[in-house]
Chains A and B, each alone.
Chain A
Amino acid sequence: QKEVEQDPGPLSVPEGAIVSLNCTYSNSAFQYFMWYRQYSRKGPELLMYTYSSGNKEDGRFTAQVDKSSKYISLFIRDSQPSDSATYLCAMSADKSNYQLIWGAGTKLIIKP
């Protein structure tokens, strides 16, 4: 079993919909959680980061961590075609930004 599970999709939704992307994990030591967005043939870019449990909001994006359930989510409000990309969750037990355990990514398609 992988340490981090993420549904590869694709997830296809109409423009304007609320999107929910999720990851589950097995290691209770994980404390630092990140979401990266990766466009086709590009490198990933950091979208959101959170420490421990709780919510964090940035514009149309909200990251949510439920450590008791070992479950993290990324919500995208008012989704746009430009949000079409692969979204990867990544997490770590220590404070470093590079020794991360990555999910396989969910491909998101926003239909105009």
Chain B
Amino acid sequence: EVQLVESGGTLVQSGGSLRLSCTASGFIFSTYDMNWVRQAPGMGLEWVSYISASGTIVYADSVKGRFTISRDNAKNSLYLQMNSLRGEDTAVYYCARGGKGGSRLDYWGQGTLVTVSS
């Protein structure tokens, strides 16, 4: 069974930093593209970042230069390092697996809440 479990979300001050983790199980993690998607309270879904199985990385303009996505295939883990946090970064952050043959998001974690206070 595919499982994705996020952790690391908490309350942080504006300008601060935070590292989110996503631990994967039930599939060969190293062969799949992975994504971070976020959802501000009461709002819709916003794609944040992508890392391919081979290491290609893409960011949304809203986080470029502040967030860093990475993966550790030996630990079956995906990470999101978030720096210079702003109030508008407050959201539930989901990790999501990219499906084979195209990057629909076929499995999602339960999400972890990041709250940025001013």
Q: Do A and B come from one complex?
A: no
Residues of B within 8 A of A (CB): none
